[in-house]
């Protein structure tokens, strides 16, 4: 069906400062692509360019081509709002909407887009919470406030919220960095499940995590994509010296 | 249904949803445009109202301005029957009552602010601050009511005779003790302005960075010395601003003053004598104005009042903002 | 040693100042309860004023009138205040917001009687009569700065990450603002509105020649209407003892309402601060 996300020649700036330089990669559909690299190397900016969140910051701009299953996200006339409906995002710190219940959080994307039918909402919320491996834990307390959950549960709620609108791609920006190891393990497990239906691109500074969940990995350094390849190959026999230095802990 | 599908292990198919297949469909363009217009309209309306207030006052007072010009400010006679209108008695009354009020309110207000911001035990700060906020929220007419039935008789029966006996050689304290009059108005104004001065001063003092305090304490200063040397000096302009804010409030205060000042348009030196303020004459005579020129003269007074309070308040705000920045709102 | 004594003395003086500042609250409230408490009966809340000189009667029309005026004021004050506050919190270019903020603070300091003149010129003169509409306009204008500033403060407290989450779900900007940011700030905005309402409920001066007061029930928004604060004033300066007693009762109602709203606002703000940490 789909061929995932194809990026060609992506450059990004904050004002006059260039933060991404001629990045290109292909994240295949129904798979997990990990992006690693030291802090500040541009991996977060990269994924935010994919769902056109980068341009929300005043003074930020980008050039290049991002193909979502063949359609250019940056083509003239394309509405960023539409792009973001098809590319979902989960952030580093869990951010459920504090005034809404668990149910309302999961349903937020749909409800605010105009879907009103109660049955539809219930079905979608249940499916999304199951996909996020949260259903069993909250099914009797759907009315409780979203912020009453633990950190790990909140992040899974945010994942449920994102997948409820049935995006084709899910971007995850260091989703586990604020969580404990058990919560992290649960999320890694559900990533392996989610990839059957979605294209997942995950930014992580944890190399072991990248090795665990992804099939493809890209290594970023100072705004450039140094190397991109099959995860196993990149970690055991990296082609570039800089990649090898990073992996073996010589810097970063 | 969903559980069964999950049990089968297949990818869960959901109900069909409205899909955004075409990236070029307009997702919220018109909504954004309309919303922005509505917000700008509200802001525009607000600015329009501000302009409108000035415009309304200028327009209505034009006849009086044309007739009396600037001599209106110096005119001492206020006789609607003879159509002789002069604002000096009211300007005098406003300034003197505000002055009396400020003389009492400023030391008390700043003292209370220092106490709250620097010296009070931590558990007491919130409740005391709350009580002061309450004082600021009490309606003017309630203070006025208390003024008529409690303060004025108290002044008439106890304080003014006492002052007359002890300090009666001063022209300030001569004349029959009516109770109502300039002294009563000044006292009521001090009670009403003190909470504002205290609250704003406290915010100014709290905005002084802690590094200033720590520097003084590290040198071995006592709490009071820290306050005097480090905090007050740094927050000086903000405190002046707080005082000006209190002054602005005192100048415009209407109901409480009207109820205790005696409402006589004459200039007298004694604090015991009745007086009249700009706001009070508006309150008392606006609905009684029988001729156009009478009303216009009253609006002229309102215009003067507006001008004075705008100047005082603008200066006050700029001074207060210079210490703490503009965004932490001063809520009165 | 001398420095410690000075320290002690100044501590005491500052504390005394704080005490003196609070003293009037005790005195005023005490007298209100003492004088007005006895007159605060069912008749006060449900009856109309009796003709001059007759004992009894109540302030029912004034209470209802105040509610009507508050409703009208909100029609003016809430849209401008909330949308304006939203603008101040979210605008990018800081120049116009600075002007708006400054104007709002200036408006806060304009004597309410002058705003009454504004409403008189705009509504009473063309209509050739006093009306609830004029009174509502005056009170609404007074509300604007309070609602504006509190809305701005509260919206600023909403974390940017919530806006990002909303945008990432594929919602247009205006929906994120209205249905996520404003909804999150809802409690704080309501608190600010309550504080504003408490302030205008006690206003008398601007109503003297706009709403004007009415001895009878309201008979239309384009007619004069009674208000609690106005009635307290009229009764206070009258020569009748019975009316004086009712004035005390009315003042007690006003100050109690102010007290309750201030307390609620304080508690709500404490709760909000805890929530957004």
The domain limits of chain A are 5-97+169-247
Non-local CB neighbours of A121 within 8 Å, separated by 6+ positions: A107, A110, A111, A115
pLDDT band at B10 (very low <50, low <70, confident <90, very high): very low
Question: Is residue A199 a contact partner of residue A29, using CB atoms and an 8 Å limit?
Answer: yes
Q: What percent of chain C has pLDDT over 70?
A: 96
Note whether A81 contacts C161, CB cutoff 8 Å.
Answer: no
- In chain A, the N- to C-terminal Cα span, in Å, equals 39
Of A99-103, A239-243, B215-219, C181-185, the range with the lowest mean pLDDT is: B215-219
Instruction: Find the largest Cα–Cα distance for chain A.
Output: 56
Q: State residue A214's pLDDT score.
A: 93
Nearest residue on chain B to A198, alpha-carbon basis: B11
How many domains does the structure of chain B reveal?
A: 1
- Cα angle C258, C263, C264 (rounded to 5 degrees) comes to 100
Cross-sheet strand order for the sheet of A71-72: A17-27, A5-14, A60-68, A71-72
With a cut of 90, say whether residue C112 has pLDDT above it: yes
Locus of tokens 């104005």: B289
Helices (H) and strands (E) in chain B, counts: 16, 2
Question: Which residues of chain C from 15 to 74 reach within 8 Å of chain A, CB to CB?
Answer: none
Non-local CB neighbours of B92 within 8 Å, separated by 6+ positions: B267, B275
User: What's the CA gap between C14 and B330, in Å, rounded?
Assistant: 23
Mean pLDDT of C191-207: 92
Is B82 a domain residue?
Answer: yes
Dihedral sign for Cα B44, B46, B51, B57, please.
Answer: positive
Q: What percent of chain A has pLDDT over 90?
A: 63
> Phi-psi bin for A222: left (phi > 0), alpha (psi -120 to 50), beta?
left
Structure token digits, residue B111: 């003292």
User: What's the CA gap between A97 and B173, in Å, rounded?
Assistant: 66
Q: State residue A231's pLDDT score.
A: 92
Residue closest to C21 by CA, chosen among B309, B201, B330, B317? B201
Q: State residue A1's pLDDT score.
A: 41
Q: State residue A32's pLDDT score.
A: 94
- The answer to whether residue A146 neighbours chain C at the CB level (below 8 Å) is no
Locus of tokens 């805890």: C274
User: What's the CA gap between C15 and B66, in Å, rounded?
Assistant: 53
Mean pLDDT of A211-220: 93
* CB < 8 Å to C106, chain B: 50, 310, 313-314, 317
Note whether A82 contacts B25, CB cutoff 8 Å.
Answer: yes
Query: What are the residues facing A88 on neighbouring strands?
Result: A170
User: What's the CA gap between B130 and B123, in Å, rounded?
Assistant: 12
User: What's the CA gap between C198 and C142, in Å, rounded?
Assistant: 12
Q: State residue B222's pLDDT score.
A: 81
pLDDT band at C268 (very low <50, low <70, confident <90, very high): confident
Q: State residue B218's pLDDT score.
A: 86
Q: What is the dihedral of CA B51, B57, B63, B66, to 10 degrees?
A: -70
User: What's the CA gap between C101 and B320, in Å, rounded?
Assistant: 14
pLDDT band at B160 (very low <50, low <70, confident <90, very high): confident
Q: State residue C26's pLDDT score.
A: 85
Strands A216-221 and A32-36: parallel
Non-local CB neighbours of C81 within 8 Å, separated by 6+ positions: C143, C144, C145, C146, C147, C148, C151, C193, C196
Determine the CATH number of domain A5-97+169-247.
Answer: 3.40.50.300
What are chain C's domains? 61-272 (1.10.3720.10)
Is B80 a domain residue?
Answer: yes
Chains touching chain A through at least 3 C-beta pairs below 8 angstroms are B, C
Mean pLDDT of C83-103: 91
The Cα of C184 is separated from the nearest Cα of chain A by a number of Å equal to 6
Is B306 a domain residue?
Answer: yes
With a cut of 90, say whether residue C75 has pLDDT above it: yes
Residue closest to B271 by CA, chosen among B191, B159, B142, B194? B159
Q: State residue B326's pLDDT score.
A: 53
Chains touching chain B through at least 3 C-beta pairs below 8 angstroms are A, C
pLDDT band at B179 (very low <50, low <70, confident <90, very high): confident
With a cut of 50, say whether residue B332 has pLDDT above it: no
Max avg pLDDT among B143-147, B205-209, B314-318, C5-9: B143-147
Note whether C113 contacts B302, CB cutoff 8 Å.
Answer: yes
Structure token digits, residue C157: 């407290």
Residue closest to A240 by CA, chosen among A222, A208, A218? A218
* CB < 8 Å to A113, chain C: 170-171
Element (H, E) at C266: helix C241-275
Classify residue B317 as exposed, middle or buried by CB count within 10 Å of its CB (0-12, 13-18, 19+).
buried
Query: What are the residues facing B78 on neighbouring strands?
Result: B85
Non-local CB neighbours of A93 within 8 Å, separated by 6+ positions: A178, C161
With a cut of 50, say whether residue C266 has pLDDT above it: yes
Q: State residue B77's pLDDT score.
A: 85
SS (H, E, C) C147-179: HHHHHHHHHHHCCHHHHHHHHHCCCCHHHHHHH
Q: State residue A2's pLDDT score.
A: 54
CB pairs under 8 A between A and B: 56
Note whether A112 contacts C161, CB cutoff 8 Å.
Answer: no
Note whether B23 contacts A123, CB cutoff 8 Å.
Answer: no
Of C1-15, C167-181, C194-208, the range with the lowest mean pLDDT is: C1-15
pLDDT band at B159 (very low <50, low <70, confident <90, very high): confident
Mean pLDDT of chain B: 84
Question: Is residue A92 a contact partner of residue C159, using CB atoms and an 8 Å limit?
Answer: no
* CB < 8 Å to C91, chain A: none
Question: Which residues span the domain enclosing B182?
Answer: 66-324
* 3-state DSSP assignment of residue A98: coil
Is B313 a domain residue?
Answer: yes
Non-local CB neighbours of B218 within 8 Å, separated by 6+ positions: none
Non-local CB neighbours of A217 within 8 Å, separated by 6+ positions: A33, A34, A35, A36, A210, A211, A228, A229, A230, A231, A234, A235
The string of pLDDT tens digits covering residues A152-175 is: 999 999 999 999 999 999 999 999
> Phi-psi bin for C23: left (phi > 0), alpha (psi -120 to 50), beta?
alpha
User: What's the CA gap between C120 and C138, in Å, rounded?
Assistant: 9
User: What's the CA gap between A173 and B53, in Å, rounded?
Assistant: 53
User: What's the CA gap between A46 and B163, in Å, rounded?
Assistant: 80
Structure token digits, residue C277: 């940490």
Structure token digits, residue B323: 């210490």
* CB < 8 Å to C180, chain A: 97, 108, 112
Of B39-53, C46-60, C237-251, the range with the lowest mean pLDDT is: C46-60
What is the Cα Rg of chain B in Å?
Answer: 28
What is the phi/psi pair of residue B307, to 5°? -60, -45
CB pairs under 8 A between A and C: 66
Mean pLDDT of C74-80: 95
Is B22 a domain residue?
Answer: no
Note whether A88 contacts C168, CB cutoff 8 Å.
Answer: yes
**CATH number (domain holding residue B78):** 1.10.3720.10
What is the Cα Rg of chain C in Å?
Answer: 23
Non-local CB neighbours of C12 within 8 Å, separated by 6+ positions: none
Non-local CB neighbours of B317 within 8 Å, separated by 6+ positions: B241, B245, C102, C105, C106
pLDDT band at B7 (very low <50, low <70, confident <90, very high): very low
Locus of tokens 């029959």: B176
The string of pLDDT tens digits covering residues A62-83 is: 999 999 988 899 988 888 898 9
- The answer to whether residue B121 neighbours chain A at the CB level (below 8 Å) is no
Of A117-121, A132-136, B213-217, the range with the lowest mean pLDDT is: B213-217
Q: State residue C11's pLDDT score.
A: 82
Is B81 a domain residue?
Answer: yes
User: What's the CA gap between C83 and C62, in Å, rounded?
Assistant: 31
- Cα angle B265, B267, B269 (rounded to 5 degrees) comes to 140
Is B72 a domain residue?
Answer: yes
Q: State residue B12's pLDDT score.
A: 39
Question: Is residue A193 a contact partner of residue A222, using CB atoms and an 8 Å limit?
Answer: no
The string of pLDDT tens digits covering residues B263-321 is: 888 888 888 889 999 999 999 999 888 888 899 999 999 999 999 999 999 988 888 87
Query: What are the residues facing A20 on neighbouring strands?
Result: A12
The string of pLDDT tens digits covering residues A172-189 is: 999 999 899 999 999 999
Nearest by CB to A112, from C92, C161, C179: name it: C179
* CB < 8 Å to C199, chain B: 137
User: What's the CA gap between A211 and A250, in Å, rounded?
Assistant: 18
Q: State residue B16's pLDDT score.
A: 45
* Number of other CB atoms surrounding residue A75 within 10 Å: 12
Is B32 a domain residue?
Answer: no
- The answer to whether residue A112 neighbours chain B at the CB level (below 8 Å) is no
Q: What percent of chain A has pLDDT over 70?
A: 98
Mean pLDDT of C91-109: 90
The Cα of B21 is separated from the nearest Cα of chain A by a number of Å equal to 8
Nearest by CB to A95, from C165, C175, C275: name it: C165
The Cα of A159 is separated from the nearest Cα of chain B by a number of Å equal to 16
> Phi-psi bin for A40: left (phi > 0), alpha (psi -120 to 50), beta?
left
* 3-state DSSP assignment of residue C109: helix
Mean pLDDT of B98-127: 88
With a cut of 70, say whether residue B5 has pLDDT above it: no
Q: State residue B25's pLDDT score.
A: 55
Note whether A82 contacts B23, CB cutoff 8 Å.
Answer: yes
* CB < 8 Å to A68, chain C: none
Note whether B329 contacts C152, CB cutoff 8 Å.
Answer: yes
The Cα of A81 is separated from the nearest Cα of chain B by a number of Å equal to 6
DSSP A39: T
- The answer to whether residue C91 neighbours chain A at the CB level (below 8 Å) is no
pLDDT band at B172 (very low <50, low <70, confident <90, very high): confident
* CB < 8 Å to B20, chain A: 82, 85-86
């Amino acid at each position: 069906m789909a061929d995932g996300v194809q990026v060609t020649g992506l450059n990004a700036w904050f004002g006059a400062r260039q933060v991404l330089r001629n990045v290109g990669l292909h994240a295949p559909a129904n798979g997990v692509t990990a992006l690693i690299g030291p802090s500040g190397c541009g991996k977060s900016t990269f994924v935010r360019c994919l769902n056109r969140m980068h341009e929300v910051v005043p003074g930020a701009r980008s050039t290049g081509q991002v193909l979502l299953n063949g359609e250019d996200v940056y083509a003239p006339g394309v509405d960023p709002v539409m792009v973001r409906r098809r590319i979902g995002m989960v952030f580093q710190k869990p951010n459920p909407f504090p005034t809404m219940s668990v149910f309302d959080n999961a349903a937020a994307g749909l409800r605010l887009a105009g879907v009103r039918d109660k049955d539809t909402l219930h079905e979608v919320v249940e499916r999304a919470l199951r996909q996020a491996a949260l259903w069993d834990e909250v099914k009797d307390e759907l009315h409780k406030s979203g912020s009453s959950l633990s950190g790990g549960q909140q992040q899974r709620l945010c994942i449920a919220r994102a997948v409820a609108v049935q995006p084709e791609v899910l971007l995850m920006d260091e989703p586990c960095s604020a969580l404990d190891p058990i919560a992290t393990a649960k999320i890694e497990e559900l990533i392996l499940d989610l990839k059957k239906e979605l294209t997942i691109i995950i930014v992580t500074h944890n190399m072991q995590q990248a090795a665990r969940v992804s099939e493809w990995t890209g290594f970023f350094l100072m705004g450039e994509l140094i190397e991109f390849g099959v995860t196993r190959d990149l970690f055991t026999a990296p082609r570039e010296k800089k990649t090898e230095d990073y992996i073996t802990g010589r810097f970063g | 249904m969903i559980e069964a599908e999950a049990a089968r292990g297949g990818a869960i198919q959901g109900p069909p949803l409205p899909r955004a297949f075409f990236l070029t469909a307009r997702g919220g363009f018109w909504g954004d445009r309309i919303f922005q217009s509505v917000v700008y309209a509200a802001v525009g309306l607000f600015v329009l109202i501000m302009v409108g207030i000035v415009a309304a006052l200028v327009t209505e007072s034009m006849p009086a301005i044309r007739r009396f010009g600037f001599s209106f400010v110096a005119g001492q006679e206020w006789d609607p029957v003879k159509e002789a209108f002069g604002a000096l008695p009211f300007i005098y009354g406003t300034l003197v009552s505000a002055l009396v009020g400020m003389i009492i309110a400023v030391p008390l207000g700043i003292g209370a602010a220092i106490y709250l911001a620097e010296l009070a035990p931590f558990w007491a700060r919130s409740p005391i601050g709350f009580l002061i906020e309450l004082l600021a929220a009490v309606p003017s007419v309630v203070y006025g009511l208390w003024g008529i039935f409690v303060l004025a008789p108290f002044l008439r029966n106890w304080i003014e005779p006492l002052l007359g006996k002890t300090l009666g050689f001063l022209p300030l304290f001569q004349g029959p003790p009516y109770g109502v009059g300039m002294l009563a108005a000044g006292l009521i104004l001090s009670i009403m302005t003190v909470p504002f001065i205290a609250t704003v001063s406290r915010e100014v003092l709290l905005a002084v960075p802690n590094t200033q305090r720590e520097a003084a304490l590290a040198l071995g200063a006592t709490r009071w010395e820290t306050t005097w040397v480090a905090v007050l000096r740094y927050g000086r302009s903000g405190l002046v601003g707080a005082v000006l804010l209190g002054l602005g409030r005192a100048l415009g205060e209407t109901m409480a003053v009207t109820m205790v000042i005696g409402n006589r348009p004459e200039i007298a030196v004694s604090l015991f004598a009745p007086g009249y303020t700009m706001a009070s004459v508006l309150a008392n005579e606006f609905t009684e104005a029988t001729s156009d020129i009478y009303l216009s003269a009253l609006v002229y007074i309102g215009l003067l009042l507006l001008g004075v309070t705008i100047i005082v308040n603008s200066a006050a705000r700029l001074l207060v903002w210079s210490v703490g920045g503009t965004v932490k709102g001063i809520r009165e | 040693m001398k420095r410690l004594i000075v320290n002690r003395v100044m501590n005491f003086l500052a504390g005394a100042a704080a005490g003196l500042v609070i003293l009037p609250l005790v005195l005023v409230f005490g007298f209100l309860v003492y004088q007005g408490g006895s007159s605060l009966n069912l008749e006060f809340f449900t009856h109309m004023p009796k003709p001059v000189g007759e004992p009894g009667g109540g302030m029912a029309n004034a209470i209802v009138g105040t509610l009507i005026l508050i409703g009208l004021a909100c029609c003016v004050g809430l849209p401008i205040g909330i949308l304006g506050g939203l603008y101040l919190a979210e605008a990018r270019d800081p120049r116009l917001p600075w002007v708006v903020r400054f104007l709002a603070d200036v408006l806060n300091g304009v004597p309410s009687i002058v705003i009454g003149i504004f409403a008189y010129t705009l509504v009473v003169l063309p209509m050739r009569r006093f009306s609830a509409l004029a009174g509502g306009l005056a009170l609404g204008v007074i509300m604007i700065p309070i609602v504006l500033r509190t809305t701005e403060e509260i919206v600023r407290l909403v974390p940017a990450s919530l806006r990002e989450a909303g945008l990432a779900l594929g919602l247009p900007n205006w929906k994120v603002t209205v249905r996520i940011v404003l909804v999150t700030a809802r409690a704080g905005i309501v608190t600010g509105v309550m504080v504003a309402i408490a302030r205008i409920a006690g206003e008398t001066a601007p109503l003297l020649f706009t709403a004007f007061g009415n001895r009878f029930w309201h008979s239309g928004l384009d007619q004069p209407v009674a208000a609690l604060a106005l009635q307290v004033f009229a009764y206070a300066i009258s020569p009748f003892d019975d009316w004086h007693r009712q004035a005390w009762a009315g003042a007690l109602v006003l100050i109690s309402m102010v007290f309750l709203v201030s307390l609620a606002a304080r508690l709500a703000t404490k709760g909000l601060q805890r929530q957004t940490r």
